[in-house]
Structure 1
């Protein structure tokens, strides 16, 4: 047992060093996933008195079998395997997930659980309008309206929404030349970690909502969207984890059914907007450009349950 504890301590120490080394090279959420997934694997190895780093293929194969008892989705198990694989490769260790026995365990897992991941509820235009009607004219209500409309127009992930800056706003004329519309520069996203940047264009309604929020909040620089405390005062930056909570709260106020509210996530706005684009007859290249997707199969997963 002392040897197993030594292996656990060594792996934990090496994991910490690895995560420190890759900071800035990966998105913070990705690093958090690496940490959580591999720490869970370390605990499993400790319980079975095996070495987590470097790990042997039979250990990973058995780990997959243990995770395939129905408590987890196949998508989540694949995420765990990516974390195990990445931590090994970052330490120049042989990747155990490439072994044929591990690949067989993955096939068993897929046959048992299926390959499809749980689809989140899409906030399409109809649902969005119901949520907008549930807002009031308080500072929080004004912020929430702007948040909903900007998120829908830009198809931003929750991390992208909270990273949008006032400093990156510019105004452009609409196609008819009668209205000024807001464009916001997206500095980076999940599929653009090299910060190539992209301009996101808002509709007339989203522009009006964003302008109202900025005027009422009296903020002139930094993040566009901020937290609001119980005293109805701006309290600082809005965390990415708060985005789905805001969506769910507004969905509840809009009297949406419990099943719908339960399946709303930080991706719901992207899913719903993509589904609306399909309904409107937009081509695949147009949809991929709007949502900044690099693979068509990702888009197809979003719209398959319309």
Structure 2
């Protein structure tokens, strides 16, 4: 039987984060670090071994997460991160132990597997959120950001990564196409890239933002300083806050605002595509989904109303 040596968990975690930097999405690395730090603190407070973890420690950790109100999706994410840290360091993965698997089954029976879906920002709601009077630089930014997010079904990571020179148009015959280059996405970690078509109105609104912000290179969407000048970039967490702020400004119901997140535009656009009669392959292509079941999570609670002719 292999006997594992106790390691310095904080040092090992930091070295692992450095090792995987650039190989995983930044959001994945952050999640791994946050979840593992949570586990390390739990173990330290309960005189348990963090790294390598024991099945007993992981089972107790799962119970503590349930007691703290963590969702089943959050608990699965935490164990996924913990498992990855062990595998990356060639440690015996306690999350694969039969006792841990049984504890996860108990957790799922207690909490279920469903996730809370973000409230969909459909075209109808989008039109309410778009600033009607361009009174500040933030208004120009918000209008362009909303339209680009909707047209491209952008994930937060994609939205904040767009560059100024990703926006372009090209003419083929008598038709002008308006596009934006998606350099890398969650399902394209190698960065092969993809072209997303956008509406002319979206292209013009985005060009207007670029002109008003007086930017010619770098990130397309940026934070706005108190002095009404553009910053260098925009954080992923700010996307949620922008959507919620705009929702409050048009007096959407507080319960709706609470459910709005950075995924709301993606959910709403997918549902609008379904309403318009788009096929599953078309929706998957537009949203850059690689699995059908992932798309179904976005549209499963939404059905096209049956109209009796």
2-side partners of 1:243 and 1:203: how far apart?
Answer: 21
2-side partners of 1:54 and 1:236: how far apart?
Answer: 41
2-side partners of 1:173 and 1:267: how far apart?
Answer: 32
Aligned to 2:93: 95
2-side partners of 1:153 and 1:298: how far apart?
Answer: 19
2-side partners of 1:182 and 1:237: how far apart?
Answer: 24
**Worse overlay, 224-233 or 264-273:** 224-233
2-side partners of 1:238 and 1:48: how far apart?
Answer: 39
TM-score by length of 1: 0.92
Aligned to 1:268: 264
Is 1:24 matched up with 2:22? yes
2:154 corresponds to which of 153, 156, 160 = 156
* Cα contact 2:35–2:82 (8 A) shared by 1: yes
1:257 deviation in Å? 0.7
Aligned to 2:250: 254
Aligned to 1:116: 114
- After TM superposition, the structure 1 = structure 2 runs for residues 267-286 of structure 1, keeping only pairs within 5 Å, are 267-286=263-282
1:88 deviation in Å? 0.2
1:139 deviation in Å? 1.8
1:38-85 Cα shifts (integer Å, max 9, x gaps): 011011111221211111122212221222236111000000000110
Structure 1 pair 293/186, CA: closer, same or farther in 2 (3 Å)? same
TM-score by length of 2: 0.92
1:192 corresponds to which of 188, 205, 208 = 188
Give the number of equivalent residue pairs. Answer: 298
1:156 deviation in Å? 0.9
Aligned to 1:225: 221
- After TM superposition, the structure 1 = structure 2 runs for residues 163-202 of structure 1, keeping only pairs within 5 Å, are 163-173=161-171, 177=174, 180-202=176-198
Computed over aligned residues only, the root mean square deviation of the Cα atoms, in angstroms, reads: 1.8
Aligned to 2:305: none
1:292 corresponds to which of 288, 291, 305 = 288
* Cα contact 2:244–2:260 (8 A) shared by 1: yes
1-side partners of 2:133 and 2:103: how far apart?
Answer: 49
2:212 corresponds to which of 209, 213, 216 = 216
1-side partners of 2:39 and 2:83: how far apart?
Answer: 12
SS in 1 for 2:223: strand
1:205 corresponds to which of 175, 196, 201 = 201
Aligned to 2:307: none
Unpaired segments ≥5 residues, structure 1: 1-5
Is 1:51 matched up with 2:49? yes
2-side partners of 1:133 and 1:96: how far apart?
Answer: 52
* Cα contact 2:9–2:50 (8 A) shared by 1: yes
SS in 1 for 2:165: helix
Unpaired segments ≥5 residues, structure 2: 303-309
